[in-house]
Structure 1
Amino acid sequence: MKRTWRADKLSHVGSSIFAEVAQWRAESVQAGMDLIDLSIGSPDQGPSLAIREALAGEVLKEDQYRYPGTRGSEEFRQHVVAWMEHRFGVKVNPATQTLALMGSQDGLAHLAQAVCNPGDVAIVPNPGYPIYAGALAIAGVKPWYLPLKEENDFLPDLDSIPDEVWAEASFILLNFPGNPIAVSADLDFFEKLVALARKWNVLIVHDLAYSEMGFDGYRPISILQVPGADDIAVEFHSFSKSFNMAGCRIAFLVGNEEAVGALRDLKNNIDFGVFMPVQKAAVTAIQQAMSSTGDALYAGTLYEHRRDVLVEALAAEGWHVHKPKATMFVWARIPDTLRTGADAWTSRRFARELLLSAGVAVIPGDAFGSEGEGYVRIALVQDEEKLREAARRIGRFIREAAGSEG
């Protein structure tokens, strides 16, 4: 038998649809289509000038090229502590409850290996960001999928989790506001979650990558705002979306000392930490955000305007989609004219035909799990005029598709 050099578990990591969409984009461009790419959630803006100047200044210093250390610099961790108290009123220990990461995906990809044993169970959302389930496949951990349904406003029903699942689970991972669905949770929800986790001795992993992308006066909250939650929960924070620093690869984990320490110990054997100039740039980002002019940096303002433009433009075309309260994504149900009937369109068919026929790239909902079928995710990563043009193209496409079906 011919030996293969590819682990079976890689077939369960992420979703092949992202590679498929990349191929569709290439086909569209090759065919001469003017592409409007609303597929990947990568900010189209750069960080502030002060952040870029801090990074540029540090990279010119000869002494910044040593191994930086896995924990994160003392300065970075002290600013993380200051940010958590300034933004959320939460106190964390810089020595034992904070950890610098090469982006939150770095932490999400490795956490299960650090806190679980092969064969353990973890509760993850469906739909959910692909690395949630992918990380479990790498670690040999069994997923139990918690459905997010429209009839529940996409909030998970914690009471639906069977006692036997709680008894087996090592951790439960949730994401508020979420990707792909910008669902938000209030303090009451978090208090219930913390109480259940304490009852069953289950670690809570909260992904708060979109903390600075709330709309209409809504500011996302930290699960660590629940009194005592840091004894049962950890939380990921990212600079990628909040400060347009996606390419810098920097984030942090805060919360339960044992879990933070476990991930730190694992990463001591994987990498040597985040490049020091990048940490300095992140410190500058925090300082700006905490300054009197910090509101000018609030990422939610830009994406709130873009959300309004796209949702209103789609409505004018006859496609009424849910207006999210946060994040850089619109989670849109495929129009009823295409979802029903003998030849109902799948999410994948809708996304592919939209791209090849109209030149607008979105991600089909099934990329995020079985509960995502019937939806598409639209990223607000183009300027307002491009979003209006995308809406016009989408409207024409839907009308033509519905007409051909009839």
Structure 2
Amino acid sequence: MPSEGDENYLTTAEVARRLQVKPATVYAYVSRGLLTSVRARGRRGSLFPAADVERLAARSVEHSGVVERIESELTLLQDDNLYYRGHSAQSLATTATLPQVATLLWTGRPPTDAPNPPTPAGAVASDTAGAGVASPGVVGGVEMDLFGVERAGVELARAAMEVVPTGARLTDRLRVAVAVLGAADPLRFDLSAASVTAAAGRLIGTLVAALPGPIVTRTTLGGKLWPKLTDAEPRPEVLDAALILLADHGLAVSTIAARVAASARANLYAVISAGLGALDGQYHGAAPTLAYEFLDRAKHDPMKALSDQLRSGEPIPGFGHRIYQHRDPRADVLLELLGDHPIVSTIHAIAERTPTFPNSDLAIAAVMHAYNFRPDAGDALFALARMIGWTAHALEEYAAPALRFRTLGIYTGQTT
């Protein structure tokens, strides 16, 4: 029986600190066989072998029934920078195409290695679904290969979107269309990587084509999305960059929801639906809209808008970030693309009076104001972009042990 001072053993409090859990959780680990406890000599309480504690602390995906950390090769957020599989997202946003970035996230293939396959038989560009003829696309066939759609799918998605009430948000239409398209796909339970990536590209392309608004031809996915959001002169490179920069951001709450669904071997449409459900929360996907509304007030009188916001005691929408410390690299790219537009001057005027910095939500809001986007465009843009990341995370989860998200529950209710 070891003594409390034995350096090879830890007390309950020491184990709790090492594992960053509550003492009650330590005992739950014992009951599940994850830790072994021994009685301390000469006093009440338990001791735990230090070696066992360290092994438990070092485990991640190997946990039996419990995931406390998630290992991923997809996205790194470090030193106020964002990387997709080791590639700077800032650089990708201005040097790579959206299909190349999606391929990078889904398969690990760098943009420079992306092939130029022909358009699959029977597929048409998402902008020519109404015409029913294939279009050569603009990125050597890569865009067509990833985001090509079928006319029947677009018509079905449009019909689904028309079911929602007039005035419903674009994200509401997306959620309904995803569910219907999933129900209509007889091969949705094929979880092979090739099938999942093909379904993801087709789904994203179909959703963009089915959204209310004009259909354009021979342009990128950002170019096809543009007339769905605004009547302004098209700048597809702005939306393409935004889609790239918002494609993934590590383990955000919607991504966790998507991974939990994928762990249960839910099909891709169900995974996307899980992500959209979490994205609908006011603390996640609604952030671009809150920033848009704040910027709408600020563009008329920046200091009054800032003063009113400070007086409310609420955070300034679109400023600061939980992870980035000094800058949001995504915002830097998007605001630079806006050049000397007056809305950028408004943002700078506010930033000079605050100790923090503009984030991607504010940058998206700035794009919306600069080009007169519809008020709900930011949420829809965020959702469409993040579908690329959710797909990548689903692919990782499909390759991991199933049903590994079984968190330990500590009962705190009344006992009999």
Q: TM-score, normalising length from structure 2?
A: 0.23
Q: Which has the larger radius of gyration?
A: 2
Q: Is the strand fraction higher in 1 or 2? A: 1
Q: TM-score, normalising length from structure 1?
A: 0.23
